[in-house]
Amino acid sequence: MPAIPILMYHNIARPPGGVRLRSLYLPPRRFAAQMRLLSLGGYRALSLRDALPYLQGKQEDKVVVLTFDDGYQDNVEEALPILERHGFTATCFVVSGALGGHNHWDAEQLGTRKAVMDRNALQAWVAAGMEVGAHTRAHPRLPQLPYPAAKAEIRGSKEDLENLLGQEVCTFAYPYGAMDRRERDLVQQSGFLAAVTTQRGRARVGQDLWTLPRISVGGHHLPHVFPLQLWTGYEDRHRR
């Protein structure tokens, strides 16, 4: 079965001094170089929504999926112009309760507040042909919540974003990658067509669409690692 890399980014920015988990940041120049490599390699870089026919085996092409978690302002300021330059689409998984705010779920742990897109920025992202996916309302660890609260986080984020954007929100990302069968079923029952985890590896045509693995791309990797993640079984061998 063909392998389809689903790339996971967070911040497209230089990490501020003293910040913890610098791996969540990728400088814009390195992101631009990676997108250039994809373009030169003949890839179609797509949002998760646009890639669904390929993941379902209905279409075939040299495809890679681009995803960004949390909805940070630098995604629209830094990443969007680079994506547009190459004619790529991408998915931004947004914490609906944090719009116009900051990363309240991990700011203390990371030692920094990171700006989350507001309504105008999110609409600019969509107007450029990009996808918005849901990432819950408050970024909790879903398995730790009672069933009604987990259901409200999942369905509520979909409703919030659909009401804001006036269009269907059909993909989901589990916060922290934390999920089990209950969460997977809740996401499917809530009307999402696909969902991504943080399990390492490349996606395979025909696998379960609500537990898709991803490849984390961050500033902690040396430049030569990115091609290995794309073109070899490097990530598949490190599957957790």
The residue type of 204 is R
Residue with tokens 């079923």: 185
d(CA 95, CA 86): 27
- Residue from 139, 80, 149, 90 nearest 114 by CA: 139
- Beta strands 6-9 and 63-70 are parallel
Q: In the chain, where are the structural domains located? A: 3-237
SS3 call for 229 = helix
The residue type of 55 is L
The residue type of 144 is Q
Give ∠ CA 53-162-140 in degrees, rounded to 5.
90
Record the tokens describing residue 111, joined without a space.
């030692």
The predicted pLDDT at position 219 comes to: 76
d(CA 196, CA 90): 14
User: In this structure, which CATH number among 3.20.20.370, 3.40.50.10320, 3.40.50.2020, 3.90.1150.10 belongs to the domain 3-237?
Assistant: 3.20.20.370
Q: Is the pLDDT of residue 151 over 90?
A: yes
* DSSP assignment letter at 218: -
Instruction: For the chain, give percent helix, strand, coil, nearest 5.
Output: 40, 20, 40
The predicted pLDDT at position 55 comes to: 96
The predicted pLDDT at position 222 comes to: 73
End-to-end CA gap in the chain = 20
The predicted pLDDT at position 93 comes to: 98
Record the tokens describing residue 130, joined without a space.
């990009």
Helix (H) or strand (E) holding 230: helix 225-231
**Residues 185-229: pLDDT tens digits?**
999 999 999 999 999 999 999 899 999 999 999 877 777 888 888
Q: Is residue 67 a contact partner of residue 4, using CB atoms and an 8 Å limit?
A: no
Q: Mean pLDDT for the chain?
A: 94
**Residues 161-190: pLDDT tens digits?**
999 999 999 999 999 999 999 999 999 999
The predicted pLDDT at position 1 comes to: 63
Predicted model pTM:
0.95
Q: Is the pLDDT of residue 158 over 70?
A: yes
Residues with Cβ within 8 Å of residue 22, at least 6 apart in sequence: 15, 218, 219, 220
Give me Rg for the CA atoms of the chain.
17
The predicted pLDDT at position 239 comes to: 65
